[in-house]
Structure 1
Amino acid sequence: MIPAEAIVLAGGLGTRLRAVVRDVPKPLAPVAGRPFLAWLLDGLARQGVARTILATGYLGDLVQDALGTTHAGMALAYVREEAPLGTGGALYNALRLAEGERVFVLNGDTWLGAPLAPLAEEAPGADLVLAVRPVPDRARYGTVRVEGNRILGLEEKGPSGPGLVNAGLYLARRDLPERRPMPASFSLETEVLARPGGLDLRAHRTEAEFLDIGTPEDFARAQALIPAWAAA
């Protein structure tokens, strides 16, 4: 049985999108007339997720006003950071509300059309499983270093060429904060994924459709691509 709970990290400032999206937080950026988050939540509900925790920050009240307490039969809960916590701090903060032993985690500005069940089956005992995707140019994203399906660390953004990148979908143990205590504010990428230490971090490879809406160019592409991908 796959976990029936998810966390969406929806607290980003969206500074690169300010030229085209100014009055709402990035996860509410309109894609084909609907908030981007609505497309993400559709996919979770279709795959049997019964409860999603939205970790909000900048303009978080607008997220709750827009989405309410249910979406497509799925319950929605909210946890808002009062000061920026980074991706890791936001995740740890939201895990306090999780009810199951494992929970899916999604970046609120990234589309990945991958099914959830294979991710859950990749390494059921791992502390965290990360969906990774091969791309022809890793310069914008950095690279996930793996040996088999074990994550060894991350390489910084910058070098060009093909590589495996973080595709913005995870499966994490609810007790991850106890297994790797961290400050209130930290980056999941640089403090955990880049330095696994004693944690068991695994990679799940996917070729699914992938799009980060964080730049004006990719946000423009999303207007046609995401509705088409969702319909498929």
Structure 2
Amino acid sequence: MNLNAVNPPPSGAGGQGSLIILAGGLGTRLRSVVSDLPKCMAPVNGKPFLAYVIDYFQQQGITQFIFSLGYKHEIIIEYLEQLTTHNSQLTTHYSIEKEPLGTGGAIKSACEKVSSKNVFVTNGDTLFKANIPALQNFHIQKSAECTLALKPMRNFSRYGVVELNDDSSVKSFNEKKYYESGLINGGLYMLNVESFLSKSLPAKFSFETGYLEKFYNEHAMYGLEQDAYFIDIGIPEDYERVQTELVNP
């Protein structure tokens, strides 16, 4: 196991080239079907779900992957070390939590290892096939601090809804309930690292409530609608569904 990989990515790594993958969760809702693995390592057609996430983002131009790890991180690192021997274009770095920090604390810690101005962030148990170059261009065009990739959905109650102003800035975050239609937060962001780290944020906090919902009125936060494939394997029903929807990368 090469723990030297915890070093930061090399200076000058490009904005489109860097992605933080949050893969430190306990996966409690999936325990009934995947009892002994981190959520992102849940098998899908013979490969970990994480393999599909990595493959898609590599196709979109990502070269630097920073994995935010916690629960059973040794399993993930062992898999990634094997993967890099067959995938010469994959560069991995690790940010390992000694205790759960919440999504916000995990991103904050991982951002300390980012040398580029902006970084993408996504969840290891979610695959949102958004157009990454388009998201980056929009983020830069808007001089945004944070840009959210938003998925349009119909007839749902599992997610809250994000409303936008006419200029695509975030107008509101609305609670989970039944909606006939709306834009959901797809768990994929582009983040201005310096602006994010400049805030007096605690070591442990939720990115969604402690950052997005707290600061969207004060800072440049925007949303970009992306009507692309989206799956969150956090519940058994969607984990079962993904087996028929994804083919091996």
- The TM-score by the shorter chain falls in which range? over 0.9
Contact 2:15 2:116 (C-alpha < 8 Å) held by counterparts:
no
Q: Matched residues in 1 for 2:171 and 2:205: separation?
A: 19
Q: Matched residues in 1 for 2:172 and 2:195: separation?
A: 17
Structure 2 partner of 1:62: 75
Structure 1 partner of 2:139: 123
Residue correspondence of structure 1 range 82-121 to structure 2 within 5 A: 82-121=98-137
Alpha carbons of structure 1 residues 76 and 29: separation in structure 2 relative to 1, 3 Å: same
Structure 2 partner of 1:222: 242
Structure 2 partner of 1:48: 61
2:25 corresponds to which letter in structure 1? G
Q: Matched residues in 1 for 2:239 and 2:101: separation?
A: 25
SS at match of 1:78: strand
Structure 1 partner of 2:30: 17
The yes-or-no answer on 1:163 pairing with 2:176 is no
Measured after TM superposition, the shift of residue 80 of structure 1 is: 0.9
TM-score (normalised: structure 1): 0.93
Question: 209-218 vs 169-178, which deviates more?
Answer: 169-178
Q: Matched residues in 2 for 1:201 and 1:179: separation?
A: 16
SS at match of 1:162: strand
4+ long deviations beyond 6 Å: none
The yes-or-no answer on 1:34 pairing with 2:52 is no
1:119 corresponds to which letter in structure 2? L
**Higher Rg of the two aligned structures:** 2
Count residues with an aligned counterpart: 229
Unaligned ranges ≥5, structure 1: none
Contact 2:145 2:196 (C-alpha < 8 Å) held by counterparts:
no
Identity %: 37
Contact 1:138 1:165 (C-alpha < 8 Å) held by counterparts:
no
Unaligned ranges ≥5, structure 2: 1-13
Contact 1:3 1:100 (C-alpha < 8 Å) held by counterparts:
no
Question: 67-76 vs 124-133, which deviates more?
Answer: 67-76
Q: Matched residues in 1 for 2:174 and 2:204: separation?
A: 21
The yes-or-no answer on 1:132 pairing with 2:145 is no
Q: Matched residues in 2 for 1:199 and 1:138: separation?
A: 29
Structure 2 partner of 1:185: 204
Question: 192-201 vs 99-108, which deviates more?
Answer: 192-201
Measured after TM superposition, the shift of residue 138 of structure 1 is: 4.0
Q: Matched residues in 2 for 1:21 and 1:165: separation?
A: 26
2:106 corresponds to which letter in structure 1? A
Measured after TM superposition, the shift of residue 111 of structure 1 is: 1.1
Alpha carbons of structure 1 residues 82 and 153: separation in structure 2 relative to 1, 3 Å: farther
Structure 2 partner of 1:142: 160
Report Cα offsets for 1:25-44 as digits up to 9, x if no partner.
00101111111111111112
Measured after TM superposition, the shift of residue 176 of structure 1 is: 3.4
Q: Matched residues in 2 for 1:177 and 1:170: separation?
A: 12
Residue correspondence of structure 1 range 193-212 to structure 2 within 5 A: 193-195=212-214, 196-212=216-232
Q: Matched residues in 1 for 2:15 and 2:226: separation?
A: 18
SS at match of 2:179: coil
Contact 1:8 1:52 (C-alpha < 8 Å) held by counterparts:
yes
Structure 2 partner of 1:4: 17
Contact 1:54 1:78 (C-alpha < 8 Å) held by counterparts:
yes
1:118 corresponds to which letter in structure 2? A
Measured after TM superposition, the shift of residue 83 of structure 1 is: 1.1
RMSD: 1.7
